[in-house]
Structure 1
């Protein structure tokens, strides 16, 4: 431990100290007047710009945070597959940790970490399963190998080894060769996150970031208002 109380890595004297890392963000001011009337329209603007940036790998990658009914949180990276005025959609095994937690506690947060652009989008809301027809339609667009993978992986369950996973995949590949239709696993499907708040974060120097958040006064309200948060 240092004299100032911070802890260093005793095994590696050359270890980097996160406290010593600094970056000054330099971007244009984000004002309420810059925003679209609806948060999904504003998300579409930023998503288009992000997807066009070579600095961003997988712009649809988002951190999905869930919690158990007694408040124990968990997070993981998931790919956004669709968004519109009704919400943000991703797919998973319903028996996975996030699937089980969302079934028990539908409150969820999504974070899009577009750090090279000094931008983030944070969505909070409630998740609900999408209809089976929507799940089947999306599943049919997945590559053949990904369809097999959805069957092979009992997501979040403990397995003995990677060899066990590969063996299951091999059995499925033999049963459903390329160009043969793979049925949709019954425990696999989508969640739609219906937003209650959507925050657009843009970084600035000296931690004076812009944080503009769309909120509804009531869950039933059709219109959104925007509030500025202190960074």
Structure 2
């Protein structure tokens, strides 16, 4: 067994105080995201999306948050992907924003719901053309023999759509995760971290401090 138990550091950035926490967690998320963007963290909108398969086995992957508001947090994907198949069987998911370099993280639980075609198309046409083409190329989560197969298919579709717009693939869509809880974690000295959780009930948010 490889012992890595001595890998540790002290969390010295300022903590959270109850009087500083707004009643609306989305307001606090926006503030934290602005802090993250200002810190020049790579991929500030990267989040882990955890889903569960039919046996109860959880699986996580990193995706990019593309939009959010009081209604939820939005990401896009191939609707034939493993995550989409697992969401179809169990729409309860969790999201995690691991902003460790500034001693912060945000954990969200909620239910994922499919976006309308109008919402999906609005985002799809805003993507770079190469990204639009890539959506056609990859049958996400399915086995492929070599990378060359993928690259050849990309070149094929690039030529096909060279002189016109790239249509929205019928198998490409997105999800809005409607949150039931949002937890904010701020690292603290001596492992006395600050944790606050917002829970949604009957249209209102409640908040409480959690022990680290």
Shorter-chain TM-score bucket reads over 0.9
The structure whose RCO (Cα within 8 Å, separation 6+) is larger is 2
Instruction: Report the equivalent of 1:13.
Output: none
Which residue of 2 is the match for residue 196 of structure 1? 180
Report Cα offsets for 1:116-169 as digits up to 9, x if no partner: 100000000000001000000000010010000000000000000101101110
The structure richer in strand per residue is 2
In structure 1, runs of 5+ residues without a counterpart are: 1-6, 9-16
For residues 80 and 18 of structure 1, the distance between their equivalents in structure 2, rounded to whole angstroms, comes to 32
1:86 matched to which residue of 2?
71
Tell me if the contact between 2:196 and 2:208 (Cα under 8 Å) persists in the aligned partners.
Answer: yes
Task: Give the aligned partner of residue 22 of structure 1.
Answer: 8
Aligned residues: 212
Q: Show CA shifts across 1:13-46 (max 9, x none).
A: xxxx431201100122202211121111110010
Q: Is the 8 A contact 1:202 1:210 kept in 2?
A: yes
TM-score (norm 2): 0.97
1:150 paired with 2:131, answer: no
Counterpart check, 1:211 vs 2:192: no
Partners of 1:32 and 1:129 lie apart in 2 by: 35
Distance 1:125 1:69 in 2: 18
1:67, distance to aligned residue in structure 2 (A): 0.4
Partner of 2:23: 37
Whichever of the two has the greater Rg, that structure is 1
1:180: how far off?
2.0
Q: In the alignment, which of 109, 113, 120 is matched to residue 128 of structure 1?
A: 113
**How many Å separate the matches in 1 of 2:211 and 2:55?**
29
Post-superposition, which runs of at least 4 consecutive aligned residues in structure 1 deviate over 6 A? none
